Amino acid sequence: MQSSMEPRMDGDDLSRQRRKREARLLDGEVPDFSGLTVADVVADVLAASDGGHAALDVPSYLLERGHTRTTITTVVDYLQRQRPADAAAGPSGPAECRD
């Protein structure tokens, strides 16, 4: 049994698992775009939004480029997880996306 004086490692393990999951997500290939990864799409969105500093309707931006609902949702969710907790709410997700 762990003593109350010993530091808990659960938070570190959880953080490590989250980082590994995010890395796998970013390394994943985008359907219908051979050789393009989620990280490439995120970088494209960030470049289009001046590094995340300018307003950009991410779902519409990606939809115009032919991305699927799955890719759009993945990118929007990833970007929202990267925002500081006090940041203003961004796009809620894709409203009209092709399957």
* Domain regions of the chain by residue span: 30-84+93-99
Q: What pTM value is reported for the model?
A: 0.70
pLDDT score of 56 more than 60: yes
Within 10 angstroms of residue 87's Cβ, the number of other Cβ atoms is 10
**Confidence band for 6, pLDDT divided at 50, 70 and 90:** low
Q: What is the mean pLDDT of residues 55-83?
A: 94
Contact 72, 63 (CB under 8 A): yes
